[in-house]
Amino acid sequence: MTLLSLLYMSRTISSSPLPFAALILIASSFSAIVPVPPLARIGRQYSSEFRPAELPSATQNLIKSNVSLVKVFVTVLDKKHEVLADLEENDFKIFENSREQKIAVFSKRAKNPITAALLVDTSLSERYLFGVVQEAASGFVHKVLNDGDEAMAMSFDSKANVFADFTENFTGLDRLIHQTAVKPPVGRAGTVFYDAVYLACRQLIDEAGKKLLVVFTDAYDTGSRMNLRDDVAEAQRTNATIYIFLIADPRFSSGYGFGSRGEVVAKIMTSETGGRTIEIRKRANLAEGLDELSEEIRSQYVVGYYPTNAKPDGRFRKIRIKTDVQGTTVLARRGYYAPAD
């Protein structure tokens, strides 16, 4: 049995995930991941045709702060993949680069307002399922977001376009979502999925609240300058959690479907940032997926600590959170970038 077959049998990333390095190797076996410099912060629209000489260095993207408190949003699932919301502080242990840290901040059902970036896939590979894509995005707005939350929205095909800036007017946002449409590619450009995720992280970087990046897509990329590593790193810098509603059309080749590169990529992105992939195989499980996501997000814990390593070296540091409860799965981001002098 192949590794991809195993991934296909996994319902969501709430099952024991493969190590990030192994998954990167799987994804790269389909398409080479070539490092490129980060994109500049954009205005309202981005085209995949840009000049690398115009781009800033990655270190310009790091948030500099004198406050060293690291806060992590944590979801805990039991053996049935149901949310556990009644754990106490002493049920958790947190490690940074394998060194245990002292918990300084802890709370249940974190009431932090949500700041969300929604990404709607308008590429041709979604043309027969685009109604489901719109329904999923609309459902997230109405079922997950509450008063005090805010959201912006982007569409992506051969370009990434911001069609709704940050707003608390969810009725207006829903109307704009339903005005989106599938667009044919421009010239030889493909689908800029990776670029769209990266740019959405840049939109979130200076925002407050619990940052979510929610993508409605088959996770298939054919034209981006950014790559999977860039997206994961930028989400970790931004402290954004990525959730992906995987909506793949089986009428296309296996390259677009479940158990394919798209699914592997989606599960890497979500597992590394503390979110998960929700596979929408038919309309019937869309409502269930939205309800599950809403319950997870509203039942998260906040675990915070002051790192014993106080060096402002700008390096990536791994985070691991464990519980003393047997049979649980912990969803949390797997690292952060330290501030840099």
pLDDT score of 285 more than 60: yes
Q: DSSP letters along 236-267, please?
A: HHHTEEEEEEE---TTS-TTTSTTSHHHHHHH
End-to-end, the C-alpha distance of the chain in Å comes to 49
**How many domains, the chain?**
2
The answer to whether the CB of 166 falls within 8 A of the CB of 150 is: yes
**Residue 283 sits in the same domain as residue 238:** yes
Q: Indicate if the pLDDT at residue 86 is higher than 60.
A: yes
125/241 same-domain check: yes
Helix, strand or coil, per DSSP, at residue 103: strand
Phi, psi of 305 (to 5 degrees): -155, 160
Output the pLDDT for position 4.
38
The answer to whether position 142 is within a domain reads: yes
**Whole-number pLDDT of residue 254:** 54
101: containing domain: 70-109+299-337
Instruction: Give the residues across from 100 on adjacent strands.
Output: 95
**pLDDT score of 189:** 72
Looking at the structure, do residues 105 and 233 belong to the same domain, yes or no? no
* Structural domain contains residue 183: yes
Hey, which of 8-17, 55-64, 114-123, 187-196 has the most confident mean pLDDT? 114-123
Say whether both 179 and 308 belong to one domain.
no
For residue 40, the domain's CATH number is 3.40.50.410
Residue 340 gets which letter from DSSP?
A: B
pLDDT band at 250 (very low <50, low <70, confident <90, very high): confident
Identify the residue with better confidence: 98 or 37: 98
Does residue 223 share a domain with residue 304?
A: no
pLDDT at 5 over 90: no
Domain boundary among 297, 314, 329: 297
Going by their DSSP bridges, the two strands 45-47 and 150-156 should be labelled as unpaired
What pLDDT, on a 0 to 100 scale, did the predictor assign at position 37? 36
Same domain, 289 and 183: yes
Give the pLDDT of residue 327.
92
Helix, strand, coil content of the chain in percent (nearest 5):
30, 25, 45
62-66, 163-167, 275-279: least confidently modelled range = 62-66
Mark whether 274 and 168 lie in a shared domain.
yes
Instruction: Assess whether pLDDT exceeds 90 at residue 81.
Output: no
197: nearest Cα among 249, 246, 298, 266: 266
In this predicted structure, what is the pLDDT of residue 258? 53
Residue 118 has pLDDT above 70, yes or no: yes
In this structure, are 50 and 77 located in the same domain? no
CA within 13 Å, CB half, 251: 6
Contacts of 180 (CB under 8 A, 6+ apart): 120, 122, 134, 155, 163
Has residue 65 been placed in a domain?
A: no
- One domain, residues 260 and 275: yes
Domain identity same for 322 and 220? no
In terms of domains, do 105 and 123 share one?
no
SS3 87: coil
In a domain, 216, yes or no: yes
Closest of 236, 221, 201 to residue 117, by C-alpha: 201
Looking at the domain assignment, is residue 151 inside a domain? yes
- Give the pLDDT score at 341: 76
Residue 121 lies in a domain: yes
Residue 167's CB is within 10 A of a number of other CB atoms, namely: 14
Per-residue pLDDT tens digits for 162-196: 999 999 999 999 999 999 999 887 777 789 999 99
Average pLDDT score over the chain = 82
String of b and e for 168-205 (b: at least 16 CB within 10 Å)? eebeebbeebeebebbeeeeebbbbbbbbbbbbbbbbb
Write down how long the chain is: 341
Q: Are residues 174 and 201 in the same domain?
A: yes
Average pLDDT for residues 53-74, to the nearest whole number? 54
Residue scoring higher pLDDT (71 or 188): 71
121 pLDDT more than 80: yes
